[in-house]
Structure 1
């Protein structure tokens, strides 16, 4: 949006959407306090929309986040940079590196539940890998499920250390809880 503001019609053209759609977006952003309407100096009856101080802060924040994706496909960056809502930073939680849980007979964890760490794009892979390992352990000891679970967990815990260490290196601001 230009620093001196724009009309909803101009915004709709820039966004390549119907004026009604732009108006709905503007209305939502007005309600969030990110935009405000002021008299249009070029028209006695018209109004223009401008960013509030909070809107400018959120816009800078969105651009900062978008810069983190430099080199990514422009369409993906636009999902962040051109969003109608401000980015919401949420804390990342994880298990402490080296965490082990006490064995509970007949119960264990797989996938994200067993590898709670910041996202690394491997969640589904870990779930499938863990399920396969647990299935193999049960197939090897079908008469003793608890022993199979213990064998699975014995192999799982060292893998968790590697996963958590890699995640901590990728997210230096991350502190496991």
Structure 2
């Protein structure tokens, strides 16, 4: 007997899912679509493998493009340290809104990179073209997140962007951001 999947955190979903959508839309509009756009959960970046040089694998559902894009929540931190009343059992009073939180999140993209011949690796021009394509993806990711409408009013801050790989024939980059999130406002709807 199949069961319905458990509900997630609607507040967090209202922030991260639009980020993924903004990034994948920006990539597609620039003519650089990916096969998969996903919310990844883990204590590190997803493995830089299986980035799909084509979208022919049935798991991509006839997508067009190359590679994968993903978002990951790195941490959720308290921005302020408000006094939270306690009831007689020592529990937090649930009628008091939770503090404003700061979410640190990563947005990444992995694409296929040339591996060349086993004895020599990629040619010089392949390295240069891969770097240029990666720089274009970097720009598109930054622009997509910065201009993503659902992040307006969240004190969005760009932290850094770093290259990843190559590993397993894949390489790319990861951009880290912070944004404010007020749990009570977002989970009440």
Taking structure 1 as the reference length, what is the TM-score of the superposition? 0.29
Name the structure where strand makes up a greater proportion of residues.
2
Max Rg structure: 1
Return the TM-score normalized by structure 2.
0.28
